[in-house]
Structures are given as structure tokens and as C-alpha cells.
Structure 1
Amino acid sequence: MPAREEIPTTLRRSPKKAQETWIKAHDSAVETYGEGERAHRTAFAALKHSFEKVGDRWEPKGRKGPSDAQAARSRPKAGKTAEGVDANASKQHLYDVARRLDVRGRSTMSKEELVSAIMKANRRATAKAR
């Protein structure tokens, strides 16, 4: 399977179900679109329906569905995403994730600010894990 060699490091630290979801979607996208960025975007869009990025790994979401406007598209294209943060989740859920990631100032942040802060904390955690 071509996706097994290309699996991102964040997925290697994630549950097996997340890995299988990404691999299956990636392989299907490669058959449809060919190898490349589009196959990766499609695989991540599929992953974001069941998982969210927390720190340096992907965790199951409480509810299934797209995590942001980009993941909701039937044909993902290059553009701005929430980088795996479940931007459609409640403010309380985002606050809880921010607390787990030790985001400072989270109690005064709006929902959009929480999403941005979690994205930044996720990037930091992923870089540190490498």
C-alpha cells in the first residue's frame, strides 16, 4: 500500500483506527486522482470527520462530521483549514482542549481565538515530538 510509507508522523503516534482511516482514504484518492497533494488533502479531509488533532496526535472526536469548512467540501482544495482542530465543536470543548494543551489566556478567548491558539499549540507539540 503506498500510503503506509507516506503516513505522517502525527498519525504514527495516533490510534490504529486513525491510521487506517487515513490510509484507506489516501489509497482510494490515489486511484482516483493520482499520487500527490490532492490525495493527501482528501485523506486528511476524511480523517477530520472522525478525528481531531490534539497536540502531536489525532484523537477520536465526540461526534462525526467535518471539522471545518474545508473538510466539509466534497472535493478538498488547497486553502485555509483549521489544521485538524475541530472548529465546529462547542466553545466549551475547545476550551477543554486548550486547557489540556496549557494554552495561556484561554478563559478570555473567543471561539475563533481558541481555534487559532490550539492550532499554534498543536504545531509546537508536533515540532517538539519530532
Structure 2
Amino acid sequence: MPKTTDSGKPKQSELPETLKKSSEKAQRTFAKVYDSAMDQYGDEERAHRVAYDALKHSYEKVGDHWEAKDEKGPSDERAKSGGPNASGETAEGVDANASKDHLMHIAQRLDIHGRSTMTKDELVDAIEKANRRAR
């Protein structure tokens, strides 16, 4: 089912919950890429993956919504390898390529305890878990 109206605006009823709480631009990005991928592939699951991949290029998941990243680009090893046979770990929307300082700031906003002693990888894991709880 199309995620955009005839005028190109995202259909709120068709968006995932985390996107309903995100900026209009994030919603538009997801919806337009989804519709384009459906036209190209005709497969809902693949269109969904492609739309999230496009979203994660410019946005990162913070708690129950998506926020614009400081720098556009792949957010994790899986996104870096790209394509239908992508390999590597996914960070579930967390920008694993961001600086440790940035991840510390996100962890602070999500009230993650013990963050000051965590490595960068541990911060990514903790933010992933906090994001899952926030759904």
C-alpha cells in the first residue's frame, strides 16, 4: 500500500510508530523511498528494508523517534556493505560510525547508566537496547 498521498505527503496511517514521532522530512524520506521501491521491486519486505536503509543514511534512531544525523552516510557495517546481500552487523538505527562523544550525548539523553565507563561498542549496544525499550 502506498505510503504517500497523491500530493506526495506521507500517510500518517501507513507510517511506523517511530516515524510518526519524527520530523516531516524523515517521514517524507521513508514514504517516498518506500513507494519508489514498491514500484521497482513489487515486494513489501524489500521496499521496507530499502526505505529504512535510506532513512538511516541521514537519520539515527534516538529512543522512540528518528533525528537528523550531523553527517550523512552509512550508520553501521551492514549499511556500508550495501546491496541485497549486505554483510556485517546492523546497529538497528544507531549511528555506530558517530564519534564516541556523540554516542555519550545520546546515551545521556536516554538516561543510560554506566555510560561514562563504556567503550564505543558498548555505547552502541546500550543505545540499541534503550531504543528497543522506547518503542
In the superposition, the TM-score normalised over structure 1's length comes to 0.89
CA root-mean-square deviation:
1.7
Structure 1 unaligned regions, length at least 5: none
Larger radius of gyration: 2
Deviation (angstroms), 1:77: 5.0
Aligned pair count reads 126
Runs of 4+ deviating beyond 3 Å: 76-80
Cα separation, partners in 2 of 1:73 and 1:25, compared to 1, 3 Å:
farther
> Deviation string for 1:53-84 (max 9, x for gaps)?
00000001101111112223442458741111
Write out aligned runs for 1:1-130 (5 A): 2-3=2-3, 4=11, 5-76=13-84, 80-126=89-135
> Deviation string for 1:35-57 (max 9, x for gaps)?
32111111000001110000000
1:84 corresponds to which letter in structure 2?
G
Contact 1:46 1:71 in 2 (8 A): no
In the superposition, the TM-score normalised over structure 2's length comes to 0.86
